[in-house]
Structure 1
Amino acid sequence: MRRYIAPLLIGLVGAGILVALGLWQLQRLAWKEAILDEIETRIHAAPTAIPAVPDPARDQYLPVRVTGTTGPRELDVLVSTRMLGPGFRIVTALETEDGRRLLLDRGFVPAEAKTTPRPPTVLEVTGNLHWPDERDRFTPDNDPASNYWYAREVDVLADVLGTEPVLVVARATVPADPAITPLPVDTAGIPNNHFGYAIQWFGFAAVWLGMTALLLWRISRRTP
């Protein structure tokens, strides 16, 4: 009987640790879903004026409404969506009625419309402030000469267009431009993989118990 004790204890303790990790991931899942719900509520709240000195930590996703004139120059940021396919986000300067210069992400155009002229126009924009984190070690270098940009790096784009480092991502504009499809801020790009991680830990626990059972069976088959 003693020969069973050590492997049984190892099996039960190991499985218990793995199950605990799975339960912890379920707790993280509930925490993350609460955060996502809070962000969604913030995104769709009533729009306000843009703060005098926006703060990326405090004002991320803040819904705003602003009127201004788009600039003559645009930066085309490569993007691909499931519904619309490959194309570009049109980022331009927006000079407001009180003289501020902000970045405006007007939305999506298909790849073939990249060079279509889009002259300056007066727009009333409803959208959200955003400081996206889109560059990692796999992101290509921008190609300013060809007007190919691969991430909405607010500081970089603001320096190029001579604006404040403040990006308004349009949800709707008045007048609307049928050639540009808004790509508003949402929570789809915020990772939430905790349920998958929980399933993995529970799966490891099941395998661990299975291997423990197999080991105990093999011990029982040994000749005393």
Structure 2
Amino acid sequence: MSGTAGGTAGAAPVWRRLWLPTVLALAAGAVLVSLGLWQLERLAWKTALIEAATSRPEAPPVAPPAPATWDGLDWDEADLTRLAVPGRFLPGEAFVYTVLSDARGPLSGPGLWVMAPFETTEGWVVLVNRGFVPTGMDGAAPVVPPPPTGEIVLDGLLRRPDPPGMFTPDPSPQKKLWFVRDAAEMAPAFSLPADTRLAPFTLDAAASTTPPGGVPQAGETRRVYTNSHLQYALTWFGLAAALAGVWLVFVLGRLRRR
């Protein structure tokens, strides 16, 4: 009787000492599992993005988004859509520094994207990436052939705005040199009228628009995406499993010592 009573009396303090570590372990485990599930959601999103990056540029061209739809554009749905845009090139050009690797054409390495304004037959303007020219970062504007004159139907890929990162250099408007492609930021380089309706997206010209001299080299849209979300998810789930194992060892150790 006394042994049983003593064992029962001794058990209560052990469980009282275990409740706080258990609650903390459950909370931490819930966070780890939720992070793993979030990475699985990101995996599905990235997989769909990669599939779109492969299929959209090869689809038949469609009409560009109308200005009335610009504010509601879903960039994940619109990016890399192949467009057929009737209109004409306007005077002016600006440059965006880049490093072209895995090029489809013969030119690669450090250089510039050549950006030019294109006025559509509907009256609005889109900035067009005419292609790549190899050069350094000395700020000197390269000499490139002018775009075609007159009315054309431009074949190209819609590109979402390219936001600057933490270490992106400031642009040099006096040299017409930028480091990201953002239509709103680059607009002053082209002296467009104040009432110009400028598209929030840019357009990457198709390879077929490359001039006979080969510069600027068009059709070099980057379509490579990393997809590490499955590894991240497995890491979070593995940490949750490890936490459960540590908690179990801790509890069993406490129970053996009571």
Tell me the TM-score normalized by structure 1: 0.74
Q: Is the 1:93–1:104 Cα contact (8 Å) retained in structure 2?
A: yes
> In structure 1, what residue type is equivalent to 2:218?
P
SS in 1 for 2:205: strand
Distance in 1, Cα, partners of 2:66 & 2:35 = 45
Q: Is the 1:125–1:172 Cα contact (8 Å) retained in structure 2?
A: no
Distance in 2, Cα, partners of 1:54 & 1:196 = 41
Distance in 1, Cα, partners of 2:123 & 2:39 = 49
Structure with the higher strand share, 1 or 2:
1
Distance in 2, Cα, partners of 1:51 & 1:20 = 37
Q: Is the 2:135–2:142 Cα contact (8 Å) retained in structure 1?
A: no
- Give 5+ residue unaligned stretches, structure 1: none
- RMSD over aligned CA atoms reads 3.7
Deviation, structure 1 residue 40: 4.6
Q: Does 1:173 align with 2:208?
A: yes
Counterpart of 2:242 (choices 207, 213, 224) is: 207
Q: Whose radius of gyration is greater, 1 or 2?
A: 2
Identity rate, percent: 31
SS in 2 for 1:22: helix
Q: Which residue of 2 aligns with 1:158?
A: 187
Moved more, 152-161 or 21-30: 21-30
> In structure 2, what residue type is equivalent to 1:103?
L
Q: Is the 2:22–2:247 Cα contact (8 Å) retained in structure 1?
A: no
1:138-153 equivalent positions in 2, closer than 5 A: 138-153=167-182
Q: Is the 1:22–1:201 Cα contact (8 Å) retained in structure 2?
A: yes
> In structure 2, what residue type is equivalent to 1:157?
M
Q: Does 1:46 align with 2:79?
A: no
Deviation, structure 1 residue 90: 0.8
SS in 1 for 2:163: coil
Q: Does 1:135 align with 2:147?
A: no
Distance in 2, Cα, partners of 1:221 & 1:173 = 76
Quick one: structure 1 residues 221 and 170, their matched pair in 2 at CA, closer, same or farther if it must change by over 3 Å?
Answer: same
Q: Does 1:107 align with 2:136?
A: no
Distance in 2, Cα, partners of 1:67 & 1:215 = 71
For residues 46-83 of structure 1, the C-alpha deviation after alignment (integer angstroms, 9 at most, x for no partner) is 11344553633068334212465545532110112443
For residues 147-172 of structure 1, the C-alpha deviation after alignment (integer angstroms, 9 at most, x for no partner) is 32111111132342126423221122
Moved more, 3-12 or 121-130: 3-12
Q: Does 1:13 align with 2:46?
A: no
Q: Which residue of 2 aligns with 1:118?
A: 144
Once superposed, which parts of structure 1, at least 4 consecutive aligned residues long, lie more than 4 Å away? 7-12, 67-72, 95-101, 183-187
